[in-house]
Amino acid sequence: MRVFFRKINVVGALVSAIKFFVRKNKDRTFRQKVYALLHATPYSGPLHRYIDQLIIWSVLVSVVCIVLETVPGIHAIFKYEFEVLEIATFSLFAVEYLARAYASCESPHYSDPVKGRLKYLVSIPALIDLVSILPYFLGLLLNQFMDTRFLRIFRLTRLLKVTRYTGTLNTLLKAIQREKRVLFASAFMMLLLVVLTASLGYELEHDAQPDKFNTIPDAMYWAVITLASVGYGDISPITPLGRAMTVIISLIGIGIFAIPAGLMASAFTDQLRIDRETFENEFRDVLARGQISHTDRNALNVEAERLHLTKQDVNRIMERVKHEMTVKGHLGLGHLNAQQLLEKYRQEVSSLRSLVQSDGFQEAEALILDTGRTTPSERAVLEALRK
């Protein structure tokens, strides 16, 4: 029964999402509707997320099938099922590729109907989509002439499609861009150390092991696995000087090869912090303009989803920004909740009490008590503050 009701809930949510999408896009063009289905926009609604989830699960199922096809026993039993799933996932990815190319000119980056689409087709996401469907076509064309099993590796590139649905890769690329000079310097040091280690290994071990340390390029394999502290054991020094050098180089490699990892971890954390601060600034700008519109709220939700912020994180950020702007006087009273209004009220009362108790207030008090200058309510406030 639980499974039955769960299925009903899923179908009901899907029907509700479709109705919302149809109502939201009633007066929009077909191309705009396709763009809203495939991209997070204020017009997308839950249906966009369902389509994303369908594509992600299709990618995962497709990759699992590709892996299991290499097991002879499983492939012999489920050969037909694997073929059906491959046709189904290929069809879905092909329709997605064509739909994204068709609706790409709705994006500000590809606004021109011809040049914009051509620019999109040579972009990295579009090339990934193309590579994910191309092996199927090539398999059909070349199957009669050659063994096409080598195309399996290109089908595995479908995993790269998942990167479109997470902002983590964009954060990582931003972090690499920010630290590219330091990473380049670190990579140069690693390359220099590999070449020096391979040269020393060649000089010290060539005579003792000419088959393993035949040339310096041959010794580079040993240098890399030694510096990386992997040490497969298929190549190892046998001379006393070679072994001594290996110990020293291994200790140096622990520090040298750890530098890029530390840099990337630090840069990734800093980039996450920068992205979240940018989100806070965007929310601050929206509040400064007045009431939050439905479009602004949708845009903030899309950005929060890209940054993988939970609802609790978003609410915490919003409350902190509201509190900061309230303290600084940059936020209108209409944005405050009951607790914040209470705090604001107490601050104003405290300010009035301090004003009444100030030394030079006697002359102003006489003006306030003048019935021709103030209202009864204003005089009543003064009487209450005196108590």
pLDDT of 4 reads 44
Give the H/E segment covering residue 41: none
Q: What is the mean pLDDT of residues 261-281?
A: 80
pLDDT of 288 reads 66
Q: What pLDDT digit, counting tens, does each position of 18-55 carry? A: 888 888 888 888 998 998 888 878 788 788 888 988 99
Contacts of 73 (CB under 8 A, 6+ apart): none
pLDDT of 92 reads 92
Q: What is the mean pLDDT of residues 317-328?
A: 69
Q: What is the mean pLDDT of residues 260-274?
A: 81
Q: Which CATH superfamily does the domain covering 2-165 fall into?
A: Voltage-gated potassium channels. Chain C (1.20.120.350)
* 162 vs 10: which has the higher pLDDT: 162
CB 268 within 8 A of CB 302: no
Q: How far apart are CA 65 and CA 57, in angstroms?
A: 12
Contacts of 195 (CB under 8 A, 6+ apart): 216, 220, 223
* 338 vs 335: which has the higher pLDDT: 338
Percentage of the chain modeled with pLDDT above 90: 5
Q: What pLDDT digit, counting tens, does each position of 136-155 carry? A: 878 777 777 776 667 777 78
**Reported pTM:** 0.63
Band the pLDDT of 3: cuts 50, 70, 90: very low
Percentage of the chain modeled with pLDDT above 70: 82
Residue 213 has pLDDT above 90, yes or no: no
DSSP 369-385: T-TTTS-HHHHHHHHHH
Per DSSP, the three-state class of 120 is helix
Q: What pLDDT digit, counting tens, does each position of 231-244 carry? A: 666 777 888 888 88
* Residue whose structure tokens are 């108590």: 387
* 137 vs 166: which has the higher pLDDT: 137
Q: What is the mean pLDDT of residues 275-297?
A: 71
Q: What is the mean pLDDT of residues 295-310?
A: 69
The CATH class that applies to domain 166-335 reads: mainly alpha
* 39 vs 378: which has the higher pLDDT: 39
Buried b (16+ CB within 10 A) or exposed e, 338-377: eebeeeeeeeeeeeeeeebeeeeeeeeeeeeeeeeeeeee
pLDDT of 293 reads 64
Please classify residue 130 by burial: count the beta carbons closer than 10 Å to its beta carbon, then call 0-12 exposed, 13-18 middle and 19+ buried.
Answer: middle
Residue 336 has pLDDT above 70, yes or no: no
DSSP 138-158: HHHHHTTTS--GGGHHHHGGG
Band the pLDDT of 333: cuts 50, 70, 90: low
Residue 345 has pLDDT above 80, yes or no: no
Domain with CATH 1.10.287.70 in the chain: 166-335
Residue 355 has pLDDT above 80, yes or no: no
Residue 173 has pLDDT above 90, yes or no: no
Q: What pLDDT digit, counting tens, does each position of 72-106 carry? A: 888 888 888 888 998 899 899 999 999 999 998 88
Domain with CATH 1.20.120.350 in the chain: 2-165
